[in-house]
Amino acid sequence: MNFARSFISDLRLSCAPAIGFLLVGLCWGSFAGSVPDIKAAIGAGDGVFGGAMFLSALGALAAMWLAPRIEAGLGPRAMQGAALVMAVSFLLPGFATNVAFFTVAMLFASAGSGSLDVIMNTRLSGIEADSKRSLMNLNHALFSFAYAGAAINAGVLREMGFGPATVFGIVLVITLLLLPVMFHRPAPIEQDGDAKSIKLPSKLILFGGLIIMFAFLAEQATEAWSALHLERSLGGSAAQGALGPAILGLTMGVGRLSGQFVTTYVRETRALQIAGLIAALGAIIAASASDLLTAYIGFGILGLGVSVMAPMAYSAVGKRVSNQQRALVITRISVIGYMGFFVGPPLMGGLSEAFSLYVSFYAVAALLLCITIILAPMLRKQ
C-alpha cells in the first residue's frame, strides 16, 4: 500500500516530463511495429534502410547538442514544442513512398525526439534535485512500457489492414491531447554570464556519459543480435528468435519500475555497481548458453540489470550539478551515451565476423563489468 501511494505521488511530482517519456515510447514503439510496411512502401532493402536510419540518428545528435538553447528559448513550453515536432514528424514516414522522403522525415522525427529526450531528462533531474526523490527509473519505465504497448498496437492495426499513417495519426492525436499537461516551468537559474562561461564538471560528464553509453550499447546489442544468436547459434525458429528482444523489453520495463523503489534504500552509484554485475552475468549466461531456455534466462537477467543504468546515471549526475549547469551537463552525457547506438553495431558485427556471436556477447559482458569495477566508483567520487 505504501508502495502504491509512493508510486502515485512520484507520478504526480514528475507529471510533465513523464508525459514526455510516454510520448517518446509511443512514437518509437509505433515505428518499430510499422517497419515492415514502411520498408515495403519505400522499396528499401536492409542496407539502404539502415543507412537512412543512421542519417536520422545524426539528426538526433545535432538536436541533442542544441537542446539547451531550445529549452532556454521556449522556457515552460520547451517540452510541448519538442513533443509536437516529434509527433508531427513521425506522421510523415507513414506517407513516404521513396527513400529520400523517408530519410528527411526521420531526420526531423529523430531531431524532435532527441530534443525532447534531453529537455525532459533535464527537467526531471531538476525535480529530483528539488524534491530529493529518485524519479528517473519510474519515468524511464513509462517509456519501456509505452514502447512495448505501441509496438503491439501497431501490429494489431496492421493485421486489421490499417497502414502506418493511421498508426502514427493515433499517436499524434494522443500527443495533442496531452500537450497541455507538459507545460512546465524549470527551476529558476541565477544567470552569471552566457553558456560559454559556465564551468562544467568534465570528469562527472565523462563517467556518467560512459555508463549510459555502455548501457545503450548492451541494450542495442541485445535488441539487434539476440534473435540472430538464438536462431543461428542455437538453432531456434524465427518465432523463438523473436522472443529474445521481447524478453529484453519486458524485463527492462519491470527492472526500471523496480529500480524506482530500490533507489529509496540504495544510492544510485551503489545500485549501478550491482546492476552492472547483474547485466554482465546475464550476458555471460546468454553467450555460453547451449539451449534456448538458458539463453532466454540470460537475456532476461541482462534486461533487468541494464534497464536501470541510464536512468540512475542521469539521476546521479543531475544531483551533483547546479541548476545553471544541469541542461548543458545532461546534454553532454546524452550525446556521449547516444554513441552506444553507433558503437554497438560495428563492435558486435566485427567481433561476430572475426570470431563468433558468443565472443560478441562476452565483450558486452566485459564492458558492463567496467561499470561495476571502474565507472560507478569513479562517479561516486565526483
Is 238 exposed, middle or buried (CB count within 10 Å of its CB: 0-12, 13-18, 19+)?
exposed
Q: Are residues 109 and 168 both part of a single domain? A: yes
How confident is the chain (382 residues) per 10-residue block, as mean pLDDT?
68 84 89 80 76 76 78 81 92 89 90 87 81 79 82 81 90 94 71 55 86 86 69 72 70 80 79 92 89 88 89 83 77 83 69 77 91 89 78
pLDDT attached to residue 193: 46
Q: Residues, the chain, total? A: 382
- What's the pLDDT at 349? 67
The residue type found at 376 is: A
Q: Distance between CA atoms of 85 and 80, rounded to whole angstroms?
A: 9
Q: Select from 153, 188, 223 the last residue of a domain.
A: 188
**One domain for residues 230 and 371:** yes
Establish if 283 belongs to a structural domain: yes
> 256-288 in b/e burial notation, b at 16+ Cβ within 10 A?
bbebbbbbeebebbbbbbebbbbbbbbbbbbbe
The confidence score (pLDDT) of residue 127 equals 82
What confidence score (pLDDT) does residue 192 get? 45
Q: For residue 284, is it within any domain?
A: yes
Q: Is residue 3 part of a domain?
A: no
Predicted confidence at residue 87, as pLDDT, reads 94
- Residues 264, 355 within the same domain: yes
Do 164 and 229 sit in the same domain of this protein? no
Residue 4 lies in a domain: no
Q: Does residue 151 lie within any of the structural domains?
A: yes
In this structure, the answer to whether residues 242 and 364 fall within a common structural domain is yes
> Do 173 and 221 belong together in one domain?
no
> Is 2 contained in some domain?
no
Rounded to 5 degrees, φ, ψ at 311 are -60, -35
Residues 239 and 341 in one domain: yes
In a domain, 5, yes or no: no
Contacts of 356 (CB under 8 A, 6+ apart): 233
**What pLDDT score was predicted for residue 277?**
94
Q: For residue 137, what is its C-alpha cell?
A: 527509473
Q: How far apart are the first and last CA of the chain?
A: 36
Residue at a domain's end among 154, 188, 222: 188
Tell which of 188, 214, 239 closes a domain. Answer: 188
Q: Where are the alpha helices (DSSP H) in the chain?
A: 2-13, 15-42, 46-74, 78-91, 99-131, 136-159, 164-178, 202-228, 238-262, 268-288, 292-307, 309-318, 323-338, 340-354, 357-370, 376-381
Same domain, 252 and 312: yes
Q: With respect to residue 193, please indicate whether it lies within any of the assigned structural domains.
A: no
Q: How many domains are contained in the chain?
A: 2
CATH number for the domain harbouring residue 134: 1.20.1250.20
Asked if residue 254 and residue 356 are part of one domain, the reply reads yes
Residues 234 and 323 in one domain: yes
Tell me the DSSP string of 258-314. Answer: HHHHHTTTS-HHHHHHHHHHHHHHHHHHHHH-SSHHHHHHHHHHHHHHHHTHHHHHH
Structural domain that includes position 329:
198-382
In this structure, are 238 and 369 located in the same domain? yes
* Residues 67 and 18 both lie in one domain: yes
One DSSP character per residue, 138-157 reads HHHHHHHHHHHHHHHHHHHH
